[in-house]
Amino acid sequence: MLTVYGLKNCDTCRKALRWLDDHGIAHRFHDLRADGIALADIRRFAKAAGWETLLNKAGTTWRGLPKGKTAQVGEAEALKLMAEHPALIKRPVFEHGKGDVVVGFRDPQKAALQALAEAGSR
């Protein structure tokens, strides 16, 4: 089954959930704020997709952090920040099983999700 990690108030996450429903792709939603997220999960996502891909630098949470925390951030600091501030995780994150991870929701990610769904139905 596909797990969708995101925020319930995120427009992109809502669009992704509707798209999954419309395409008959079974999924469950994990709210990063309400349900929390373990550092081990963030590490797993980062290993699969790259920590730079996973870190959301475009949002208000990133802009609200002190410059000392954001200047020249490396992987270890980024993972710790994402654990402390789940809104720093780029959304949505899709995980199929415990290894296939897709981050974001544009056409390439949609194609990857369809491929995962097709592979899982075989």
Catalytic residue among 7, 10, 83, 101: 10
- Backbone phi and psi for residue 16, each to the nearest 5 degrees, phi listed first: -65, -45
- Backbone phi and psi for residue 76, each to the nearest 5 degrees, phi listed first: -60, -45
Query: How many Cβ atoms from other residues are within 10 Å of residue 76's Cβ?
Result: 9
Query: How many Å apart are CA 59 and CA 4, to the nearest integer?
Result: 19
In 50-106, which residue ranges form alpha helices assigned H by DSSP?
A: 51-54, 60-64, 67-70, 75-84
Annotation says 13 is catalytic: no
Element (H, E) at 103: strand 100-103
Active site residues: 10
